[in-house]
């Protein structure tokens, strides 16, 4: 007997042009994933009793599991990003999702094995745990990125802000409310809770639904994109890694329970309020609008870390946690909006982006320990390292690509008004070949001297016999009746059977030709829709919604087909009308019909 989980969503909409998105269970699920990262990877010494491999300033440290897990995690993500279309069916399979959650859970629970601190097997267990959690967490993150990329820009922002707050709340609850080893057991089953939510928000692949994707991801110059996108992401990762370690390993554990509650509630509320304010000001799909006010604030909070170390600084800790939460949310929103707005593969964007971010976070985790030893006799060594982190953050902001730069990399100018790939034509060819082979194989065992030659298809798509009859109308009456040889009973039965087979085959080919014609019509319609989407630069979700609108469907049908709420579908429709400068569905349909797919 199955268990049905009710779908509870919150949709905030303030007027025609300021939709605040839809808050749903994605925020809870991704929050659980981040809480798992904080506990099982960054603070395993507290929850599992593992030993620090490298120690830095402000009680920051790196364990062997931490090191191995991030290395494996980064390699898996980078590989997935570079091979996103080649192994797409593998990356979207729910079996892979289930395997990722199980690997993550098993790897985490491995740390609870009762081996003593001097056991020779301790390091082996930590390495195994690191490999399993690295692979599992990479798989889960790709599915989380894909799930967020299906949302509109406002929903990405809203759910991300809430998710980061949820992650810190779960981390603190596990830190203070659950004793060892129950806290470790709870963290070990968190990936399974993620699986339950992801399974709900991950539809079956198109091939299992007997459907075709509405549009393929837009083409992108991989080398230019990685160079322009990867450098600032790596620089941001250096600063984020340092802030994450100090927040998770030093600031929060150093506070008592009541202070933690005040800091987290205040920081979470402030983060959500800041993000919603930016949405209200019109920055729902422009990451520059987010980075411009937040990066200076985050950089200034870094300078407050030495003040926090003096103790009795609740307000300073509140500012630090708020800055860190904004930073975590900012980078996740950045990846989600690039994928959504420019119709890029989320596996490519999150694979490359989060992979480079992981490498930078690992470097930021290891470097402070080395720098502290190197600057051992230098006064204000911690302040110097923090100033360097702030400088790196400012440099990353200066290198951040603007929207127009990504547009130039994603869509070269000569291709803006033409279709990149004809999905339907490829599918039609793939479907027609097995039918023809099957028909030939069916007739082959019946072949005799009196069997009629197989029906071939001409260039125009008509059966060859029909085409010949049309070209030479008298060809069938040229032979005199006396030329027909006498028929035996066996020959008559054979010809009757052959005639039945040929009639069946003609019906099959006729149906195939009708299907091909229908596919061509659908292909032309998709081409027109994609031309309009590329010309007016609609986002991924807006493009999909426009496709169904242009076919005459209403918002109820669209929300069922795209697995979104009806309120979100109406928000997309409103944005599409504004971008295309149309006011009714009929105007949109006429605009699509008049689109020119030729260069």
C-alpha dihedral sign at 298, 346, 74, 404: negative
326 plus 432 within the same structural domain: no
Structural domain includes residue 475: no
> With 80 as the cut, is the pLDDT of residue 429 above it?
no
pLDDT of residue 566: 72
Structure confidence by residue, pLDDT tens digits, 315-348: 888 888 888 988 999 999 999 988 888 888 999 9
The two tokens of residue 446 are: 């019946």
pLDDT of residue 267: 78
Average pLDDT of the segment spanning 355-383: 78
Q: What is the dihedral of CA 441, 446, 447, 452, to 10 degrees?
A: -90
Structural domain includes residue 472: no
pLDDT of residue 432: 45
Question: How far apart are alpha carbons 437 and 360 in whole angstroms?
Answer: 54
> With 70 as the cut, is the pLDDT of residue 532 above it?
yes
Of 379, 411, 443, the last residue of a domain is 411
Q: Which residue has the tokens 């190197």?
A: 374
514 plus 396 within the same structural domain: no
pLDDT of residue 433: 42
Structural domain includes residue 342: yes
For residues 128 and 432, the model is more confident at: 128
pLDDT of residue 80: 96
Residue 355's pLDDT band (cuts 50, 70, 90): very high
**355 touches 229 (CB < 8 A):** no
pLDDT of residue 507: 52
243 plus 101 within the same structural domain: yes
Structural domain includes residue 564: yes
The whole-chain average pLDDT of the chain stands at 75
> With 80 as the cut, is the pLDDT of residue 477 above it?
no
pLDDT of residue 109: 93
187 plus 242 within the same structural domain: yes
> With 80 as the cut, is the pLDDT of residue 53 above it?
yes
What total number of domains does the chain contain? Answer: 2
249 plus 395 within the same structural domain: yes
Domain of 243? Answer: 10-411
Lowest mean pLDDT among 57-66, 137-146, 412-421: 412-421
CATH of the domain at 271: 1.20.1250.20
The two tokens of residue 355 are: 């992979």
Average pLDDT of the segment spanning 64-84: 95
For residues 104 and 20, the model is more confident at: 104
Lowest mean pLDDT among 309-313, 483-487, 573-577: 483-487
pLDDT of residue 312: 66
C-alpha dihedral sign at 233, 235, 240, 245: positive
> With 60 as the cut, is the pLDDT of residue 270 above it?
yes
Residue 134's pLDDT band (cuts 50, 70, 90): very high
**350 touches 76 (CB < 8 A):** no
> With 80 as the cut, is the pLDDT of residue 181 above it?
yes
Residue 451's pLDDT band (cuts 50, 70, 90): very low
Q: What is the DSSP string of 19-49?
A: EEEEE-THHHHHHHHHHHIIIIITSHHHHH-
Question: How far apart are alpha carbons 8 and 450 in whole angstroms?
Answer: 69
pLDDT of residue 340: 85
394 plus 444 within the same structural domain: no
376 plus 507 within the same structural domain: no
Average pLDDT of the segment spanning 588-593: 88
111 plus 215 within the same structural domain: yes
Structural domain includes residue 479: no
pLDDT of residue 453: 38
pLDDT of residue 137: 97
Quick one: how far is CA 174 from the chain centroid?
A: 29
pLDDT of residue 599: 40
Structure confidence by residue, pLDDT tens digits, 26-50: 999 999 999 999 999 988 888 887 8
Max mean pLDDT among 47-56, 66-75, 508-517 falls in 66-75
92 plus 134 within the same structural domain: yes
Structural domain includes residue 459: no
Structure confidence by residue, pLDDT tens digits, 185-234: 999 999 999 999 999 888 877 767 666 666 677 778 888 899 999 999 99
């Amino acid at each position: 007997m199955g268990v049905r989980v009710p779908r509870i969503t919150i949709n905030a909409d303030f007027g025609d042009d300021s939709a605040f998105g839809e808050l749903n269970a994605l925020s809870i699920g991704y929050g659980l994933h981040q809480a798992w990262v904080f506990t099982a990877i960054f603070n395993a010494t507290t929850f599992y009793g593992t030993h620090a491999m490298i120690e830095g300033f402000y009680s920051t440290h790196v364990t062997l599991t931490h090191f191995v897990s991030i290395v494996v995690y980064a390699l898996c993500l980078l590989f997935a990003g570079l091979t996103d279309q080649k192994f797409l069916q593998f990356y979207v399979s729910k079996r892979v999702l289930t395997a990722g959650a199980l690997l993550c859970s098993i790897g985490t629970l491995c740390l609870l094995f009762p081996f003593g601190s001097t056991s020779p097997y301790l390091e082996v267990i930590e390495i195994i745990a690191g490999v399993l959690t690295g692979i599992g967490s990479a798989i889960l993150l790709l599915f989380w990125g894909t799930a967020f990329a299906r949302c509109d820009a406002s929903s990405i922002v809203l759910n991300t802000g809430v998710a980061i707050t949820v992650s810190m709340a779960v981390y603190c609850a596990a830190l203070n409310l659950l004793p060892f080893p129950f806290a470790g057991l709870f963290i070990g089953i968190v990936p399974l809770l993620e699986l339950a939510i992801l399974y709900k928000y991950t539809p079956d692949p198109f091939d299992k639904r007997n459907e075709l994707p509405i549009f393929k991801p837009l083409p992108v110059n991989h080398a230019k994109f990685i160079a322009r996108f990867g450098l600032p992401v790596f620089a941001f990762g250096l600063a984020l890694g340092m802030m994450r370690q100090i927040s998770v390993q030093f600031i929060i554990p150093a506070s008592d329970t009541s202070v933690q509650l005040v800091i987290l509630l205040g920081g979470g509320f402030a983060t959500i309020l800041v993000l919603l304010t930016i949405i209200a000001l019109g920055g729902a799909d422009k990451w520059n609008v987010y980075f411009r006010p937040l990066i200076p604030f985050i950089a200034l909070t870094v300078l407050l870390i030495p003040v926090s170390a003096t103790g009795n600084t609740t307000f300073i800790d509140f500012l630090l946690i708020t800055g860190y939460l904004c930073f975590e949310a900012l980078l996740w929103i950045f990846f989600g909006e690039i994928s959504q707005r420019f119709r890029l593969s989320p596996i490519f964007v999150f694979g490359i982006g989060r992979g480079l971010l992981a490498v930078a976070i690992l470097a930021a985790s290891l470097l402070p320990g080395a720098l502290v030893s190197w600057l051992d006799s230098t006064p204000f060594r911690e302040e110097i390292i923090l100033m360097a982190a702030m400088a790196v953050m400012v440099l990353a902001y200066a290198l951040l690509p603007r929207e127009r730069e990504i547009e130039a990399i994603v869509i070269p100018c000569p291709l803006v008004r033409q279709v990149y790939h004809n999905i339907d034509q490829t599918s039609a060819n793939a479907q027609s070949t097995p039918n023809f082979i099957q028909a030939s194989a069916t007739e082959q065992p019946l072949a005799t001297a009196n069997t009629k030659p197989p029906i071939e298809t001409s260039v125009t798509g008509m059966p060859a016999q029909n085409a010949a009859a049309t070209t030479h109308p008298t060809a069938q009456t040229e032979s005199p009746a006396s030329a027909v040889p006498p028929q035996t009973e066996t020959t008559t039965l054979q010809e009757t059977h052959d005639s039945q087979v040929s009639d069946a085959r003609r019906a099959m080919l006729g149906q195939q030709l009708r299907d091909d014609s229908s596919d061509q019509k659908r292909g032309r319609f998709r081409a027109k829709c994609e031309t309009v989407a590329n010309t007016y630069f609609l986002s991924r979700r807006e493009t999909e919604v426009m496709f169904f609108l242009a076919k005459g469907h209403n918002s109820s049908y669209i929300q069922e087909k795209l697995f979104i709420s009806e309120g979100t579908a109406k928000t997309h429709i409103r944005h599409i009308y504004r971008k295309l400068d149309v006011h009714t569905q009929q105007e949109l349909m006429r605009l699509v019909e008049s689109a020119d797919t030729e260069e």
